[in-house]
C-alpha cells in the first residue's frame, strides 16, 4: 500500500527538518554560545577559602591566603594532563621562589595518591569547592557534542593520562597566579571546557610580576 503523495512529502519534510535541527544543534554546541560563563574571583573570596592538608597525620584546616601571603603562588584546580604540564615549570618557579600548589575537590579512596605522580607540589583539599567558583560551572551533556572536548580526551589518552570513575567529574576548574600582599590575582584561567589548558607562557609571564614580601624579621 503506497502512501498518498501529500503524506510522503510531509514525512520527508519532517525528516529533513529533524536532520537540519540536529545539525544546527551540533554546530551551535561547538560555539561558545552555550558554554557556562565564568565569574572572576575576588581576593576577598579567595583569601577566605578553607583548605585542608592531606597525607599522614591529623588534617589541618587553614585559610587559602596562607599559600601566597609571602611569596605568591601558582595554584591549580585542574586535571592530570595539565597538572603534569604545570609541573614542568617547577624548576623555573623554584628559581624565583614561587611555590606550586594543587587543590582537589574530594578525597575518595586512592584518588589523591593516584593524582600525586602527575604533580610536583603540595596538594590540598577544597571540600567546599570554592576554587571552582564563585559560580561553579559544570559540563555534562554539552561535552558529548563538542569536537574540542573529544579531541582533548583523545590527546590526553594517547599521552597516557587516564581518569577514574570515582566521585564527581563534571566540574570545570582553573589555574591562578596570585601575588603576595596587595598584588592580588595576576592570572586567572577558567577552564571553559574539559581539556582547555592554560598557556604555560602566560603563567610564567604572570609569575615574573610577583614581588615577594619581606619576612616578619625584615629579611
Rounded CA-CA distance 184/43 in Å is 6
Structural domain range at position 143: 37-209
**Segment-wise mean pLDDT, segments of 10 residues, the chain, 219 residues:** 55 58 50 63 92 84 94 88 88 95 86 84 91 73 58 62 54 90 91 78 95 60
At residue 107, the pLDDT reads 83
At residue 84, the pLDDT reads 87
Q: Judge if 130 and 104 occupy the same domain.
A: yes
Cell reading at 170: 563534571
Q: Judge if 27 and 41 occupy the same domain.
A: no
128-155: pLDDT as tens digits: 999 987 777 666 655 555 556 666 566 6
Rounded to 10 deg, the angle between the 147-158 and 80-87 helix axes is 60
At residue 59, the pLDDT reads 84
pTM over 0.95: no
- Establish if 2 belongs to a structural domain: no
Q: Judge if 179 and 84 occupy the same domain.
A: yes
Nearest to 178 by CA among 99, 118, 109: 99
At residue 28, the pLDDT reads 44
Q: Judge if 167 and 128 occupy the same domain.
A: yes
Q: Judge if 189 and 205 occupy the same domain.
A: yes
At residue 51, the pLDDT reads 96
At residue 14, the pLDDT reads 60
- Establish if 1 belongs to a structural domain: no
Q: Judge if 29 and 76 occupy the same domain.
A: no
Nearest to 67 by CA among 154, 200, 150, 180: 180
Q: Judge if 123 and 165 occupy the same domain.
A: yes
Give strand ranges (E) for 137-192. Answer: 174-179, 184-190
Domain count, the chain: 2
At residue 166, the pLDDT reads 45
Q: How many Cα atoms sit within 13 Å of 132 on the Cβ side?
A: 23
Amino acid at each position: 500500500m503506497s502512501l498518498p503523495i501529500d503524506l510522503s512529502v510531509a514525512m520527508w519534510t519532517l525528516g529533513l527538518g529533524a536532520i537540519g535541527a540536529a545539525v544546527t544543534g551540533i554546530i551551535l554546541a561547538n560555539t561558545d554560545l552555550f558554554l557556562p560563563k565564568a565569574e572572576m574571583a575576588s581576593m576577598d573570596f579567595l583569601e577566605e577559602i578553607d583548605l585542608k592538608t592531606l597525607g599522614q597525620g591529623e588534617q589541618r584546616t587553614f585559610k587559602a591566603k596562607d599559600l601566597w601571603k609571602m611569596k605568591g603562588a601558582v595554584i591549580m584546580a585542574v586535571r592530570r594532563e595539565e597538572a603534569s604540564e604545570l609541573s614542568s615549570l617547577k624548576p623555573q618557579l623554584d628559581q624565583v621562589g614561587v611555590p606550586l600548589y594543587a587543590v582537589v575537590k574530594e578525597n575518595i579512596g586512592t584518588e589523591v595518591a593516584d593524582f600525586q605522580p602527575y604533580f610536583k607540589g603540595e596538594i590540598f583539599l577544597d571540600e567546599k569547592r570554592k576554587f571552582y567558583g564563585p559560580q561553579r560551572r559544570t559540563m555534562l551533556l554539552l561535552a558529548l557534542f563538542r569536537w574540542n572536548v573529544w579531541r582533548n580526551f583523545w590527546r590526553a589518552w594517547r599521552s597516557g593520562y587516564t581518569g577514574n570513575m570515582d566521585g564527581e567529574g563534571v566540574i570545570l576548574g582553573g589555574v591562578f597566579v596570585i601575588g603576595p600582599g596587595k598584588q592580588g590575582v595576576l592570572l586567572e584561567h577558567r577552564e571553559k571546557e574539559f581539556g582547555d589548558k592554560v598557556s604555560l607562557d602566560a603563567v610564567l609571564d604572570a609569575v615574573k610580576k610577583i614581588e615577594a614580601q619581606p619576612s616578619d624579621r625584615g629579611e
